[in-house]
Amino acid sequence: MMQRIANLLVIKDNHVLLLKKPRRGWYVAPGGKMDPGESIYDAAVREFTEETGTTPIDPHLKGVYTMMIKDQADEVVIDEWMLYTFVARDLEGVPFKTTREGELGWHPIENLHTLPMAEGDRTNLLFAVSETGLQYGTFYYTEQFKLLKEKIQKSVEGVNRNDGK
């Protein structure tokens, strides 16, 4: 079955809550795999709560991404999954500091530009913290998570690009 991953970025007091994964030292928004029959919303809330010990307030979807893993030569598709990225502007509780998944911590929003992470994640998280509306797209990575290419679309509810004509 194709994996579906939901993650959730909490933005509060100009900081974001990120998980530093031990393997590469890369930062991610807390999240994980959807269960069968789960909605993307319930999955994002459940995974965030399990990983942080806190409850996100009013999460809202900011991005839906098709993730492709290809060989180095960019020819053979090795894996494909869906990623759903939510944002919340508040949470209840005090986050864990260390978990089995890695180290949790608050980081200034602007550090999303420089902290080590998958390049597609940087694109997604910067959109989520700074832009209105939704982002869609496909990211192509190697098995070593080097970004091969990305293709992005965006939309904002009620905004019609013909309105200005």
Q: CB atoms < 10 A from the CB of 98, how many?
A: 10
Q: Please, what is the minimum distance in Å from the beta carbon of residue 30 to a second copy?
A: 18
- Six token digits for residue 67: 């993730």
The residue ranges of DSSP E strands in 109-146, in sequence order, are 134-142
- Six token digits for residue 78: 């090795």
59 scored as a contact of a second copy (CB under 8 A) = yes
Mark residues 110-139: x for contact with a second copy by CB under 8 A, - for none: ----------------------xxx-xxx-
Beta carbon nearer to a second copy, 41 or 145: 41
Q: What distance in Å separates the CA atoms of residue 43 and residue 51, rounded to the nearest whole number? A: 12
Q: What distance in Å separates the CA atoms of residue 165 and residue 158, rounded to the nearest whole number? A: 16
Sole binder of a second copy in the list 26, 41, 96, 145 (CB under 8 A): 41
Q: Please, what is the minimum distance in Å from the beta carbon of residue 19 to a second copy?
A: 22
Sole binder of a second copy in the list 8, 10, 19, 40 (CB under 8 A): 40
Contact 35, 41 (CB under 8 A): no
Q: Please, what is the minimum distance in Å from the beta carbon of residue 132 to a second copy?
A: 7
What ranges in the chain are assigned the alpha helix state H?
40-52, 119-130
Q: What distance in Å separates the CA atoms of residue 19 and residue 104, rounded to the nearest whole number? A: 5
61 scored as a contact of a second copy (CB under 8 A) = yes
- Six token digits for residue 45: 């809330």
Beta carbon nearer to a second copy, 115 or 129: 129
Q: Please, what is the minimum distance in Å from the beta carbon of residue 146 to a second copy?
A: 17
- For binding to a second copy (CB under 8 A), which residues are involved? 1-2, 4, 34, 36-42, 57-61, 64-66, 68, 77, 80, 82, 84, 89-90, 132-134, 136-138, 140, 151, 153, 155-162
